[in-house]
Amino acid sequence: MTDFDFLDFQVCDDSSKEKQTVEDIISKFEELNFINNNSWKILVVKNNKKKIKEEALESGVFNAVSISKVSPKIEDIFEQITDHRYSFILEIASSAFENMSEDTDTSKLDFNQLKALVYFELRKITPDKKLRKSSPNDWLRILHGLGKDFDRVDSSCTDILAEDFSWEKVMGSYYSQLEAE
């Protein structure tokens, strides 16, 4: 990780657990493969300043992971500074995930929940290099596949990167209905 204290962000380098998780999710899920096929780079950052209130964590309604599109001008600047042309920034609120290990801190979300939220955000990237709003089908996939409490601190969810995980397996008949729409 590279510290940028004046911005309160940590840039996750290629060897970080967070960056590797993003790469693994893109590689595993066919619906996201176009990101690698287009060689688009995603800058993964941990936001150490963004505080998630305890009440928000308990209710499961918060923005612990978010994705944003980088303007072409900023893409050019990134490329000049880093030799990488970043098209998107994935931001993780570290206060929601203070314990980023596989061990669970019951006052924070666990790593499997982080993976699910990252997947959900990556689904917003379109093949024409834009971001779209979440669709009802995105929410249905998460809710039917991982359960309605997948993002609550008093809960957990299936590891979407487990070798035997597939949306079809966890969603059952709902999977074919969503894929048909």
pLDDT attached to residue 179: 63
Q: Which parts of the chain register pLDDT below 70?
A: 1-7, 50-62, 97-107, 177-181
Residue 96's contacts (CB-CB under 8 Å, 6 or more residues apart) are 52, 57, 62, 64, 108, 109
140 contacts 178 by C-beta, under 8 angstroms: yes
Q: Each residue of 25-53: pLDDT tens digit?
A: 999 999 999 998 888 899 999 887 766 55
CA distance 176 to 68: 30
pLDDT attached to residue 137: 82
pTM score of the predicted model: 0.83
pLDDT attached to residue 107: 55
